[in-house]
Structure 1
Amino acid sequence: MATIGPRRLDAKARLRALTSDITALILNRDLLPGDPLPTEQELMAELGVGRNSLREAVKVLQALGIIDTRHGFGMFVAENNLSALHDSLAFRGQMSLRHRGHEAGELVEVRQALETGLIGQAIRVVSEEHLQALEATVIRMEQSAQEGDMFAEADRDFHRILFEPLNNTLLSNLLGVFWEVYHSIHDVIGEEQPDNPTLVETAAAHRAIFEAVRAKDIDAARLLLADHFQGIRQLLAVMRGRAK
């Protein structure tokens, strides 16, 4: 059985230490998203490392969405985004579908917990402007459903606008990530299962959630949102049963 030798472990430890040093430098200098980092030469001198080691660490931080490099301009603190988290979760969720879908089910549970847990706060501060925007997405879904067209963008807009009243950028980004991952999972298992809700039924489910929000009925909205996730839970359960 192959083992990882001491030198390999030491190299990994040095890389982790260097990435930590770079992130500490960003924090200690109070750099903000979009701010430039010191030049490569300056970082090499300040951190006491060679060019190859520094570039390897920068690649890791790029993959994590912490640093952004622009050819001919240098390195910058990356803008706020969760693209690295999205890619990782989407991969894990889709991979799990090949092995009974356990992680995919966990991702659905987390998204449901976020939405049902926060809907009450959103309803308490929802404005008429948000209600109008929310209903517009429902109308788009209903029109698309009547024509037999998919309405993924309207669906995404619905869930985004639903929580916009909370004015929480991190929450909006995180819910966006979970929406993307959820639909990537749903698209995979939906192709394999014929018992999906119809487009009309899905649009009607969103209409019901909207009406509960407009009526400021928190309990009804919470129950309707929870029920909204039952379809994919059932598909995952069927898939697990077939994998036994």
Structure 2
Amino acid sequence: MSTEMWTGTESGRAVIAKVMGFMADRRLQPGERLPSERELAERFGVGRNAVREALATLASLRVVELRPQSGIYVRELRAQSSFEALVLLSSLGFPPTEAEIAQTMEVRASLERTAIELACLRREDSDLEALQQVLEQTDVVLAAGGNIAEQDQAFHLALVAAAHNDILVRVLNAFYELTLPRRRRYFAVLRRGRASHRQHHKIVDAIRARATRKGVALMQRHMETARFYWREELGGDAPAASRRPR
């Protein structure tokens, strides 16, 4: 799921970023009121239509609340906003907090286990072909000493597609969008890419054999590797995360 779906244009994304930056700089708390559309347009030097579009997007993601005849109010992000809002904020330069990263890993691990269970049960020959194609593309990138973050995302998307559950695809796609910047950092070290690729091969073998228990165990180990790394690295996001609106 791409943030382009929510913002429409690059200019729309820029105005959303300005609104979120304003909220963070002012440290606005849930329930506090934002300036009017007109005031925000003047402050940002953009048209009111652009501000209205940005606010409508943020309202749909439950970041703000638009109250007729009253104004624009900040919502409680942790309790009231959508997961897509977290993805959007990250893409606009407001990275997840340490707690959000850890909790994201917990939820994603559970969803990935469900995905491989269903993939072992439902996969078709075309799914195996798609997974094999990603493995071969990854071979090429690794042989050139490259970063396999994009191929890693493609692999997991192909795996979830093999589960033949459209809702699971949508949910996990949002997780992959959120974690892509961090995975680029992770796979900047070539040996990590090679190790992950070896695990991907074993996972595909399990799906091909419909070996559900083995596949789940392999996925658990795969996710634990990433979780262990990010437990060590979480502190690196703290300064930027401190600017996040609450």
Residue number in structure 2 paired with 1:62: 57
Shift of the alpha carbon at 1:201? 1.4
Change (3 A) 1:65 1:172: farther
Residue pairs, 1:118-157, within 5 angstroms: 118-157=115-154
Residue number in structure 1 paired with 2:77: none
Q: 2:212 aligns with which of 198, 215, 218?
A: 218
Shift of the alpha carbon at 1:92? 9.6
Shift of the alpha carbon at 1:111? 1.0
Structure 2 gaps of 5+ residues are 1-27, 35-47, 62-82, 239-246
Question: Contact 1:145–1:200 (CA<8 Å) still a contact in 2?
Answer: yes
Higher relative contact order (CA 8 A, sep 6+): 2
Shift of the alpha carbon at 1:91? 7.1
Amino acid at match of 2:113: T
Question: Contact 1:122–1:165 (CA<8 Å) still a contact in 2?
Answer: yes
Identity %: 20
Q: Does 1:198 align with 2:162?
A: no
Residue pairs, 1:1-244, within 5 angstroms: 59-64=54-59, 84-88=85-89, 94-96=95-97, 101-188=98-185, 197-239=191-233
Distance in 2 (CA, whole Å) between partners of 1:152 and 1:218 is: 26
Residue number in structure 1 paired with 2:241: none
Shift of the alpha carbon at 1:189? 6.6
Shift of the alpha carbon at 1:125? 1.0
Distance in 1 (CA, whole Å) between partners of 2:148 and 2:100 is: 26
Distance in 2 (CA, whole Å) between partners of 1:118 and 1:58 is: 35
Amino acid at match of 1:233: R
Question: Contact 2:115–2:168 (CA<8 Å) still a contact in 1?
Answer: no
Q: Report the 3-state secondary structure (helix = DSSP H, G, I; strand = E; otherwise coil) of the residue aligned with 1:198.
A: helix
Distance in 1 (CA, whole Å) between partners of 2:93 and 2:103 is: 11
The structure with the larger Rg is: 1
Amino acid at match of 2:226: I
Change (3 A) 1:173 1:65: farther
Shift of the alpha carbon at 1:153? 2.5
Amino acid at match of 1:178: F
Change (3 A) 1:147 1:228: same
Number of positions where the alignment pairs a residue of Structure 1 with one of Structure 2: 178
Shift of the alpha carbon at 1:203? 1.2
Distance in 2 (CA, whole Å) between partners of 1:55 and 1:139 is: 44
TM-score normalised to the size of structure 2? 0.58
Distance in 2 (CA, whole Å) between partners of 1:189 and 1:151 is: 10
Distance in 2 (CA, whole Å) between partners of 1:216 and 1:65 is: 40
CA RMSD in angstroms, aligned pairs only: 3.8
